[in-house]
Amino acid sequence: MASYDLTPQIAPNLDRHLVFPLLEFLQERQLHPDEQILKAKIELLNKTNMVDYAMDIHKSLYHTDDVPQDMIERRAEVVARLKALEDAAAPLVSFLQNPNAVQELRADKHYNLQMLNDRYQIGPDQIEALYQYAKFQFECGNYSGAADYLYQYRALCTNSERGLSALWGKLAAEILMQNWDIALEELNRLKEIIDSKSFSSPLNQVQSRIWLMHWSLFIFFNHENGRTQIIDLFNQEKYLNAIQTSSPHLLRYLATAFIVNKRRRPQFKDFIKVIQQEQCSYKDPITEFLTCVYFYYDFDGAQKKMRECEEVILNDPFLGKRVEEGNFSTVPLRDEFLENARLFIFETYCRIHQRIDMGVLAEKLNLNYEEAERWIVNLIQNSKLDAKIDSKTGTVLMEPNHPNVYEQLIDHTKALQGRTYKLVSQLLEQAQAPAQAAR
């Protein structure tokens, strides 16, 4: 299963602090040698201010109570720097901790800056000090303090680039504190800025979208509505293009969300085509399961992939989260996935057969005969499936379902207006490009 570990592909798109939860999960699952994980933690910690944590990891890695002298010196430097930043930001922090004084702030940032300077002698230097202090707190692992100061900094900041940097930091802090509702709000704010901001290069905008999608995995697989919202985000044209161009491994998470989410089936047909297109650039048991069912009608292969999918999910840091650690669902994602995967096999198998032997179907579903019969009975009752079980012959009889030609016509033409608009927009952009270049 280590060959399906996506941490090497995901980690470069995360803040280094967000990598620690992934390493903790991998260490617990023992997918890699413990020494390798500890060395990776040390390497990450060396570029943060979490020196005490680094010392503890060093002791575990080398089985000693002693730590290198450079770590001791580094700790002294961090403490001194933290004190200096605290003193520099103290006037503004003191103001922000005074409820009566804070009431004087307004929505107009320029008014606030003038008021702070005139009444409290707080100027740009102190506001910049608050940013540096918040950033340093984050690097020390004080995510709660960092989140508060970054929020307050953004209310005063007039530099859009600095404000954007503070928002990324605030998002990371909320994720690390597992404040999923607040983190989702910050994620949506960040998306709005990324989609509307004028970037120096289109590649920078694409990279920002890629970062946003990677960071969002923490939220979407922990938030109550996350499995729907990941489809809404990742399946947008600009974001799906970014996935196909630079991060096809994210297809694992979008595929999983589609499989466990019954409310997004209309979009599923187009997504299946993407899976087929990207087989050369990325595949794993989850994406291969979909190709087995929907392209090759290889139900034996799909059954085998289901078993592999179970292992992939259990050993994925985002998909394998344990219920007792606070997952919102009362049913582990693995169980939801397997139940819906069986449904996918059953639905597809029934579309190409009118009479189905129960024993064969049980084998395709990876169930024994009694379990398969009970599962199909429940399915027929709950989903109003147009089928019946012949107990004497041990078969499932499917009623013929002739598609309505008018419904087919509507289905094929309902997206025509959107596609036409997109085509016209592309033609206009191409026509305007030479004119802009001439200017």
Helices then strands, counting H and E runs in the chain, come out as 23, 3
Burial class (CB in 10 A: 0-12, 13-18, 19+), 420: exposed
- From 105-109, 203-207, 228-232, the region with the lowest mean pLDDT: 105-109
For residue 265, pLDDT over 70 is answered with no
- Taking the CB of residue 332, how many other CB atoms lie within 10 A of it? 17
List the 387-390 sheet strands across, edge first: 355-357, 395-398, 387-390
Cα atoms in the 13 Å half-sphere on the side-chain side of 169? 29
Report which of residues 327 and 393 the model is more confident about: 393
Task: Give dist(CA 225, CA 234) in Å, integer.
Answer: 14
Q: What is the pLDDT of residues 397-411, one digit of tens each?
A: 887 655 555 655 665
Task: Give dist(CA 390, CA 282) in Å, integer.
Answer: 43
Burial class (CB in 10 A: 0-12, 13-18, 19+), 346: buried
From the list 397, 417, 279, 256, the residue with the least C-alpha distance to 340 is: 256
User: Does residue 280 contact residue 291 with C-beta atoms inside 8 Å?
Assistant: no
Instruction: Please give the pLDDT value at position 409.
Output: 65
Task: Give dist(CA 146, CA 150) in Å, integer.
Answer: 6
Q: What predicted TM-score, i.e. pTM, was given to this entire model?
A: 0.86
Task: Give dist(CA 313, CA 262) in Å, integer.
Answer: 19
**Residue whose structure tokens are 């007792």:** 324
Task: Give dist(CA 372, CA 374) in Å, integer.
Answer: 5
Q: What is the pLDDT of residues 2-23, one digit of tens each?
A: 889 999 999 999 999 999 999 9
Task: Give dist(CA 327, CA 224) in Å, integer.
Answer: 9
Helix (H) or strand (E) holding 189: helix 180-196
**Per-residue CA distances from 12 to 8, 44, 197, 213, 255 (Å):** 7, 12, 23, 13, 22
- From 174-183, 260-269, 322-331, 343-352, the region with the lowest mean pLDDT: 322-331
Burial class (CB in 10 A: 0-12, 13-18, 19+), 178: middle
For residue 282, pLDDT over 50 is answered with yes
For the segment 168-193, the average pLDDT, to the nearest whole number, is 97
pLDDT band at 329 (very low <50, low <70, confident <90, very high): very low
**Per-residue CA distances from 183 to 167, 222, 320, 346 (Å):** 11, 11, 20, 38
CA-based end-to-end distance of the chain: 56
Task: Give dist(CA 406, CA 46) in Å, integer.
Answer: 65
* Contacts of 275-279 spanning 24+ positions with Cβ under 8 A: 275/251, 277/244, 278/244, 278/248, 278/251
Task: Give dist(CA 361, CA 359) in Å, integer.
Answer: 5
Instruction: Please give the pLDDT value at position 325.
Output: 44
Helix (H) or strand (E) holding 387: strand 387-390
Rounded to 5°, the CA angle 206-212-215 comes to 145
Q: What are phi and psi of 398, to 5 degrees?
A: -95, 130
Report which of residues 405 and 110 the model is more confident about: 110
- From 152-166, 317-331, 334-348, 379-393, the region with the lowest mean pLDDT: 317-331
For the segment 254-259, the average pLDDT, to the nearest whole number, is 96
